[in-house]
Amino acid sequence: MSDGALSQAEIDALLSGAPAGGGAPPPAAGGAGGGNEAKVIEGFLAGTVDTLSSNLSMLTGGSVTFSPPAVKSSDRDTLLNELPETVTAIKIDFTSGFPGEHSFLIPEELAKGIASLMNKEENITLDDVAMSTLGEAVSQISGTEITALSTKTGNKNIASGSPEAANVPKATVALSPNFTVAAYAVNLGGTTHTIWEVFGPQVASGIAAALSPAAPAPNMVNAGMGVPPLSSMGGMVGGPGNVAGSGFGSQPNMQSVQFPSLNNANLPREQGNIGLLMDVFMEMTVELGRTRKLIKEILLMGEGTIIELDKLAGEPVDILVNHKLIAKGEVVVIDENFGVRVTEIVSPAERMPDMG
């Protein structure tokens, strides 16, 4: 029995940072497999930087260039040492697909530059209007990633919440103890800055798993499942004599399968007639929002007038066909064109009141 004193080997182990019992050292931040997750996410994000650059350039009207990010597993203290004293933190968590923490950290100088270009305002202050503008910019970045993730994984249910932006001292930024962080070098107007994108541990592991190639299905016979070869199954294989010799009382009664007749008469009549409508043109409209104005208010409108709509920032837009609501979606930028990604199809029950 030990008298409680440490041996020289245990003292040496403690001084070297290893466990006193001689076991393996504790895992690094990010958990087991964190390095592999980071590599998978890094490869994915590298494929989105051209679209990000194009989208942000269009939003700002200036030249914005994203370089492929460096992705690593990190912890709160390590990241805080890399950040400037004040950052614009924009929280935009994933709500479905890979639900969990997701945010962007932007240096104050770069945040002012982006907001200034988007609002066409010099010497801008990071007030509520500027924060809303920066939230829209980050929504475009996140939307680009979600579109690429949906394409690569086949998961059409990936979505994020509305952005929450604040300009705060770095020490007050809400971060998990461990996470995966992507550091982008962003060139705006000839000056290079860094944007940090933070993925919570559940989000990072979910994305990495979905992007990794699936493992091949095991061979049931060769995997040691104990399935005997057909030749060892006695009377189960062969003619009637073998069946009788297997211990069963009589030969099984076998019948041919009776399939229903596949006649055109069994198909609904609508299926045969829908082809007549395939070439009919329909007017599709994407509606950002609506508002009501008095005639005197409309007459006072001029260049620069801001019209407040009945939609909140981040809410889905309405998709109408011949002025009838059929779906909802979110606005995206594809190369240099606006588009809308369908997120919800309105049910027939909801459409019926508009049909009258």
Please, what sign has the CA dihedral across residues 38, 40, 45, 46? positive
Domain termination site, one of 171, 188, 211: 211
Give tens-digit pLDDT for 80-128: 999 999 999 999 999 999 999 999 999 999 999 999 998 888 889 999 9
Which residue would you say has higher pLDDT here, 248 or 122?
Answer: 122
Which residue would you say has higher pLDDT here, 123 or 194?
Answer: 194
**Distance separating alpha carbons of residues 118 and 158, to the nearest angstrom:** 27
**Distance separating alpha carbons of residues 321 and 317, to the nearest angstrom:** 13
- For the cut 70, the answer to whether the pLDDT of residue 340 exceeds it is yes
pLDDT attached to residue 210: 92
Give tens-digit pLDDT for 203-246: 999 999 999 875 444 454 444 444 454 444 444 444 444 444 44
Q: pLDDT above 70 covers what percent of the chain?
A: 70
Helix (H, G, I), strand (E, B) or coil at 19: coil
Q: Which residues fall within 8 angstroms of residue 254, CB to CB, at 6 or more apart?
A: none
50 and 193 part of one domain: yes
202 and 59 part of one domain: yes
Domain CATH for 178: 3.40.1550.10
Residue 286 main-chain phi, psi, to 5 deg: -105, 120
Q: How confident is residue 254, by pLDDT bands cut at 50, 70 and 90?
A: low
Domain termination site, one of 211, 234, 267: 211
Q: Which of 132-136, 149-153, 249-253, 282-286 has the lowest mean pLDDT?
A: 249-253
> What is the torsion angle, in degrees rounded to the nearest 10, for the CA atoms of residue 204, residue 210, residue 211 and residue 215?
120
Show the domain range for 100: 34-211
Asked if the structure places residue 197 within a domain, the reply is: yes
Domain CATH for 348: 2.30.330.10
pLDDT attached to residue 233: 47
Q: How many domains does the chain have?
A: 2
Rounded alpha-carbon distances, angstroms, from residue 314 to 26, 88, 278: 42, 19, 34
Domain termination site, one of 211, 235, 263: 211
And the tokens for 53? Answer: 């650059």
Helix segments in 120-173, DSSP class H: 128-153
- For the cut 80, the answer to whether the pLDDT of residue 295 exceeds it is yes
Asked if the structure places residue 8 within a domain, the reply is: no
**Distance separating alpha carbons of residues 164 and 124, to the nearest angstrom:** 19
Average pLDDT, stretch 154-166?
91
- For the cut 60, the answer to whether the pLDDT of residue 339 exceeds it is yes
Q: Which residues fall within 8 angstroms of residue 80, CB to CB, at 6 or more apart?
A: 170, 171, 173, 175
Q: How confident is residue 253, by pLDDT bands cut at 50, 70 and 90?
A: low
pLDDT attached to residue 159: 92
